[in-house]
Amino acid sequence: MRIEVTRDVFKLAEVFTISRGSRTEAKVLTVRLHAGGVTGWGECVPYARYGETLESVTAEIEALPGDITRRSLYDLLPAGAARNAVDCALWDLEAKQAGKRVWELAGLAQPGPEITAYTLSLASPAEMQVQAAKHAHRPLLKIKLGTPDDMPRLEAVRAGAPKSTIIVDANEGWSAEVYADLAPHLVRLGVALVEQPLPAGEDDALIGLDRPVPVCADESAHDRASLPKLKGKYDVVNVKLDKTGGLTEALALRDAARAEGYDVMVGCMVGSSLAMAPATLVAKGATIVDLDGPLLLAEDRDEPLIFDKAGVHPPVAGLWG
């Protein structure tokens, strides 16, 4: 098997801002596995928050042997972006070689469309209200926050989209005190969930803290090995393939989290439809689905995912799986 890694850049439709910074494009790595006249592919988004760069992840992938399998991959790469792209490419390759869809190979029911969140990036309250009003027809909005002055933004988004369900992502930007102060207002404004309010290394402060709105572990949750550290702090686990290291571990984490009593959110980095495609298989039955990466792009892959009133649809075979 020949392993090929390329860099792709997708322009964003608008500047995307979170508490850690802004971007105008999505830089991704595309992995293609060539074997027996068939090519399987996958995508990952190296993330600086986890010490990953385009160069470091490329090097990890290019160092893999040509006889790699999904099982041996676990022994060669840790959870993260590199393993994600290769794992998803292996699933795609196996499906094409077998003439079946990935969900059949994985023993899953055929997936259907799932309502997905649409993300409003961090901006001034006035700008966020305009964006909320523009997308008020969407049933689920996700707000990027994470500053000490977020109340006006919350009020502005609720005013702009009075009927949408709202979830909040603080991206580790709050303290325990800020969260405690905001919690009653989150309830008042109908916020359904808060993602990662505290830095992952400081989230012990959530133990014993009143959580009137469910709190979701994002940066604190990577794979199944993360679960023991979440007890008493979180109510929901965000499953992202770039953190789990691929579809294989994402499905395992989803099932393990549910078995331990957590609700499940399925999320994404900002990437193309190729990155979201495997995650649509994890999304069935999730409490929250956040696979809006392609909606934030000005350009996408050929045969992209379909988004409509029913939500995000699973991929056609021409895209992946």
Residue ranges for the known binding site for Mg(2+) are: 169, 195, 218
Dist. CA 304–CA 285, nearest whole Å: 23
Q: How far apart are CA 203 and CA 230, in angstroms?
A: 9
Sign of the torsion angle spanned by Cα atoms 98, 102, 108, 114: negative
Structural tokens at position 27? 């830089």
**Which listed residue (96, 142, 233, 240) is catalytic?**
240
d(CA 51, CA 169): 21
CA–CA separation, 86 and 247 (whole Å): 10
CA-nearest of 88, 96, 73 to 268 is: 88
Strand partners, 29: 7, 44
Pairing of strands 21-35, 263-266: unpaired
Q: Identify the H or E element spanning 97.
A: helix 81-98
Handedness of CA 165, 218, 84, 271 (dihedral sign): positive
240 catalytic per annotation:
yes
Positions at the binding site: 169, 195, 218
In total, the chain counts a number of residues equal to: 321
Strands 236-239 and 165-169: unpaired
With a CB cutoff of 8 Å and minimum separation 6, the contacts of 116 are 140, 289, 290, 291, 292, 307, 311, 312
Q: Take residue 201 and report the two structure tokens written for it.
A: 């290394």
Identify whether 229 is a catalytic site residue. no
Cα 270 versus chain centre, distance = 8
Which of 144, 229, 231, 284 is the catalytic position? 144
Output the six-digit token pair for 20: 């850690």
As a whole number of angstroms, the distance between CA 197 and CA 235 comes to 13
The catalytic residue positions are 144, 240
